[in-house]
Structure 1
Amino acid sequence: MNKHIDVKNSRANDAGLAKNTQIELDSNCISMVADAVGTPFYCYSPEVIAQAYEELSTALSPVGASVCYAVKANGNLSILQLLSRLGCGMDIVSGGEMERALEAGVPASRIIFSGVGKSPREIARALTEGVHQINVESPAEFHLVADIAASLGLRAPVALRVNPDVDAQTHAKISTGKKGDKFGVALGDVAGLFEAAAGRAEIEMVGLAVHIGSQILDLSPYRRAYGVLADLVRDLRTQGHAVPRLDLGGGIGIAYGDQGAPSVAELAAIIAETVGGLGCALTVEPGRWLVGRAGALVTTVLYTKEAGERTLAIVDAGMNDLVRPALYGAVHPLGVVRSARGGEGQSYGVVGPVCESSDIFGVYDDLPQLAAGDLVAFLCAGAYSASMASTYNARDLVPEVFVSNGRFRIVRRRQTTRELMALEKDTVWQDVESGPAPENRKGIA
């Protein structure tokens, strides 16, 4: 019988994992994939993604809410194709994400374009493609969308993303719904923009949107935010404005350690109690919840060394491959895939090779004695992991692999430094017709 990966938590997350918080990895299969592909690499279980979508869809069915996946969590084409086949729409925040969704076969009619800084080119492309709606986040963007739609002879389906001034009680860098955050239209500006829309034939005001943050574990902020939204809908309707749709955003968290994970059934109940009776078409936009638990970053131990009172295990994955620990202080559960020496009770600081002191993944207890060549995996790494990877230190961009029923398929090949250098070769100087005087062109040879 194949041995499943032995999971260890860091002391930052205490001991033990909440049930069903990560992909169940077959150590023999992952070990063979590592030998074939090389480490580090991301692997995903399409079955875990499909199960998450079905669980969420079932929970939301009583309130009639549709699901649009937040592409920023992981934009791999194979993941987008899988979710699209299941009937999932897409929530995008850039023109590049729109290109990915369209390439994956997602109909434009199932795409919602969010984001605080859409360019004129991105807005024009979204309108031309016929996206389901554009979530506008400022009065200036509202007028730009209207002008572009008028120039194209099109009518823009617009929802106003409101800022409800609700603290999501999550990490400060992923909280998006408080007054002073860059996201959303201030509540005091909403009625005026609905009035402005009534005077512009090129704008179809289709509703309101809200998104208060990511990795939300306590669901009470949703109740407050949706309550603000419900009051706003009622106020707008008394002023004669139709509000046919509500985009409720995403952000529901997963358990990375033993802190527990929120229930999607509880989220559905909150939706029903706050906005369920308004007669609006409802949409939710999860990202991490659908794919986070389905992925792992597999890496090889390169060396062990003593550093003061701590023993370090230096692995071949770095902060460029998985930046969440350095950026957010996140700690991913660690799975032992292959260990030559065995045993238990060892404590290691697991670090990467990048030339930064912040390139540390965590301190993990109760590990076997690690040695060069052993394989470990950072779990719950399906979201905001590969999508945030870089080539810092001129390191290859990590590949991604689907693993299913004893088979694997590379869904993004490793991008090598040699391939990237090709983008920098054979460039030519071009004349600039106008610009600063030569003496002002500092730094130009």
Structure 2
Amino acid sequence: MDYKALAQKYGTPLYVYDFDEISRNYNKIKTAFKARKSIIAYAVKANSNLSLLKHLANLGSGADCVSIGEIKRALLAGIPNYKIIFSGVGKRDDEIAEALEKDILFINIESEAELFRVEEIAAKLGKQARISVRVNPNIDPLTHPYISTGLSENKFGVAIDTAKKLYLKAKSSPYLNPVGIHFHIGSQLTELAPIKEASAIVAELTRALQKIDIDIKFFDVGGGLGIRYKDEKTIEPYDYAQAILSTLSGTDMTIICEPGRFIVGNAGVFLTSVLYEKETGSKRFIIVDGGMNDLLRPSLYNAYHEVEVVGKSEDASLADVVGPVCESGDFFAKDRLLPKTEHGDIVVVKSAGAYGFVMSSNYNTRPRPAEVAIEGGEDRLIRERESFEYLIEKEVRFMV
């Protein structure tokens, strides 16, 4: 891929996504579950660009959404309502009502209080809400604590005993229809054992529920399948699927899988231009035009992303790649062996397709980058760069 030409054509900072790779990744996970009825419900939070969602819709994808805005994006992109799930611990009343009106597949319930809210809202609307309960199996996912979700100390889901009570309550309510069960132990998972253990625990609960005539039709295994950022040993989709399927003998449910990062993470890069080099004592800095407001992961998680300078590899020495934002946490890489750079050189930050643009902000009144898709060797703009006028349009008319 000619990153220099893309940077010249569209400017920097810039996100670039390989839609052909996205197709390959989607098909890998879909094929892995071919032995069962399945829905691959892409986790919209990973990258919610409408053109990307439309591309996935054309492949047959569903959507896992954590806000009504994400549900609207998925529908606008052509993902059918019967393949859309609404997750998240903090759904507002208006979001729940709109999700019910849009007749999505089901709402994931994350607490007893939420179950009562959904029931009350469904009753007011004269509807029956299809629901799933998110079960917290209390399994250590062996990932970064910020993206761990399956331990009792995490805010997500309910314990096994609580889940049983919620299903019994839902079964007795004319406004609730418990059709699914859900778990998700964390993101960027690279160990298979915790996934299999969690699946076995939730499968056992499912069988117990089915014995008392609670008809669970969907077994939602969440997402979280990890990718390679540095030197991680990742899980093959086939092995992932087999581990889950091995826990489901004697059942006939549709598997729902919610990959996000796996589909888009390594299909995207972030391009940024060198502004200056600076040395302070023994420290060398490569200062670029992209900042932590554009790509937050290194600052937020101290996450590792590979970086390279286009067309240069020799005379490398240790350097930090940093941005223009007025924060000490504004960096993309620290103490990397990188070549001597000049003004205008292009730095590629890899594995930026997931949790990149979606987590960006306008901090320091910085317009967010453009986004570009590559498909069949052709590039096209899928989100234009923001302008200063765009940033202030919701404020300027209120000035007095």
Alignment TM class, shorter chain as reference: over 0.9
Q: TM-score, normalised on structure 2?
A: 0.97
Measured after TM superposition, the shift of residue 40 of structure 1 is 0.3
2:22 aligns with 49
1:286 is aligned, of 259, 263, 288, to 259
Pairing of 1:100-111 with structure 2 (within 5 A): 100-111=73-84
Per-residue CA distance 1:218-255 (angstroms, 9 max, x = gap): 11110111011011112223333222221110001001
Query: How far apart in 1 are the matches of 2:49 and 2:368?
Result: 14
Q: TM-score, normalised on structure 1?
A: 0.87
Query: How far apart in 1 are the matches of 2:114 and 2:46?
Result: 24
- What letter corresponds to residue 397 of structure 1 in structure 2? R
Q: Secondary structure at the match of 1:274?
A: coil
- Range moving further from structure 2, 58-67 or 360-369: 360-369
Q: Does 1:330 align with 2:306?
A: no
Query: How far apart in 2 are the matches of 1:79 and 1:276?
Result: 35
Measured after TM superposition, the shift of residue 335 of structure 1 is 2.8
Query: How far apart in 1 are the matches of 2:129 and 2:213?
Result: 20
- What letter corresponds to residue 37 of structure 1 in structure 2? Y
- What letter corresponds to residue 123 of structure 2 in structure 1? A
- What letter corresponds to residue 188 of structure 2 in structure 1? Q
Query: How far apart in 1 are the matches of 2:332 and 2:365?
Result: 20
- Range moving further from structure 2, 68-77 or 29-38: 29-38
- What letter corresponds to residue 31 of structure 1 in structure 2? K
Query: How far apart in 2 are the matches of 1:398 and 1:195?
Result: 49
Structure 1 residues 282 and 406: alpha-carbon distance in aligned structure 2, compared to 1, 3 A threshold: closer
Q: Does 1:242 align with 2:212?
A: no
2:112 aligns with 139
Checking the alignment, whether the CA contact within 8 Å between 1:250 and 1:285 is kept in structure 2 is: yes
Checking the alignment, whether the CA contact within 8 Å between 1:113 and 1:134 is kept in structure 2 is: yes
Measured after TM superposition, the shift of residue 180 of structure 1 is 2.3
Query: How far apart in 1 are the matches of 2:165 and 2:35?
Result: 34
Query: How far apart in 2 are the matches of 1:254 and 1:113?
Result: 25
Pairing of 1:41-190 with structure 2 (within 5 A): 41-190=14-163
Structure 1 residues 96 and 276: alpha-carbon distance in aligned structure 2, compared to 1, 3 A threshold: farther
Checking the alignment, whether the CA contact within 8 Å between 2:286 and 2:320 is kept in structure 1 is: yes
Pairing of 1:176-325 with structure 2 (within 5 A): 176-325=149-298
2:387 is aligned, of 416, 421, 426, to 416
Checking the alignment, whether the CA contact within 8 Å between 1:63 and 1:268 is kept in structure 2 is: no
Measured after TM superposition, the shift of residue 406 of structure 1 is 4.2
What stretches of structure 1 move > 6 A for 4+ residues in a row? none
Per-residue CA distance 1:26-77 (angstroms, 9 max, x = gap): 2xx3212211211001000100100101111111112333210000000000
Gaps of 5+ in 1: 1-25, 430-445
- What letter corresponds to residue 413 of structure 1 in structure 2? E
Measured after TM superposition, the shift of residue 399 of structure 1 is 1.1
Query: How far apart in 1 are the matches of 2:82 and 2:162?
Result: 28
1:394 is aligned, of 365, 379, 384, to 365
Measured after TM superposition, the shift of residue 149 of structure 1 is 1.0
Q: Does 1:345 align with 2:316?
A: yes
Checking the alignment, whether the CA contact within 8 Å between 1:164 and 1:228 is kept in structure 2 is: yes
Checking the alignment, whether the CA contact within 8 Å between 2:37 and 2:253 is kept in structure 1 is: no
1:12 aligns with none
- What letter corresponds to residue 313 of structure 1 in structure 2? I
- What letter corresponds to residue 113 of structure 2 in structure 1? A
Checking the alignment, whether the CA contact within 8 Å between 2:30 and 2:40 is kept in structure 1 is: yes
Structure 1 residues 426 and 365: alpha-carbon distance in aligned structure 2, compared to 1, 3 A threshold: closer
- Range moving further from structure 2, 236-245 or 373-382: 236-245
Checking the alignment, whether the CA contact within 8 Å between 1:63 and 1:271 is kept in structure 2 is: no
Query: How far apart in 1 are the matches of 2:173 and 2:149?
Result: 29
Checking the alignment, whether the CA contact within 8 Å between 1:246 and 1:280 is kept in structure 2 is: yes
Q: Report the RMSD for the aligned CA atoms in angstroms.
A: 1.5
1:6 aligns with none
Query: How far apart in 2 are the matches of 1:193 and 1:138?
Result: 9
Structure 1 residues 264 and 406: alpha-carbon distance in aligned structure 2, compared to 1, 3 A threshold: closer
Checking the alignment, whether the CA contact within 8 Å between 2:365 and 2:391 is kept in structure 1 is: no
Q: Secondary structure at the match of 1:43?
A: strand
- What letter corresponds to residue 289 of structure 1 in structure 2? F
- What letter corresponds to residue 367 of structure 1 in structure 2? L
Query: How far apart in 2 are the matches of 1:276 and 1:414?
Result: 51
Measured after TM superposition, the shift of residue 333 of structure 1 is 0.7
- What letter corresponds to residue 46 of structure 2 in structure 1? A
Per-residue CA distance 1:369-401 (angstroms, 9 max, x = gap): 211110011011000011100011111111111
Identity of aligned residues (%): 42
Query: How far apart in 2 are the matches of 1:365 and 1:140?
Result: 49
Measured after TM superposition, the shift of residue 413 of structure 1 is 0.6
Query: How far apart in 2 are the matches of 1:416 and 1:281?
Result: 45
Q: Secondary structure at the match of 2:293?
A: coil
Query: How far apart in 1 are the matches of 2:282 and 2:251?
Result: 60
Gaps of 5+ in 2: none
Query: How far apart in 1 are the matches of 2:328 and 2:127?
Result: 52
Measured after TM superposition, the shift of residue 276 of structure 1 is 4.6
Query: How far apart in 2 are the matches of 1:406 and 1:211?
Result: 36
- What letter corresponds to residue 70 of structure 1 in structure 2? A
Measured after TM superposition, the shift of residue 330 of structure 1 is 0.3
Checking the alignment, whether the CA contact within 8 Å between 1:84 and 1:106 is kept in structure 2 is: yes
Structure 1 residues 345 and 422: alpha-carbon distance in aligned structure 2, compared to 1, 3 A threshold: same
Larger gyration radius, structure 1 or structure 2: 1
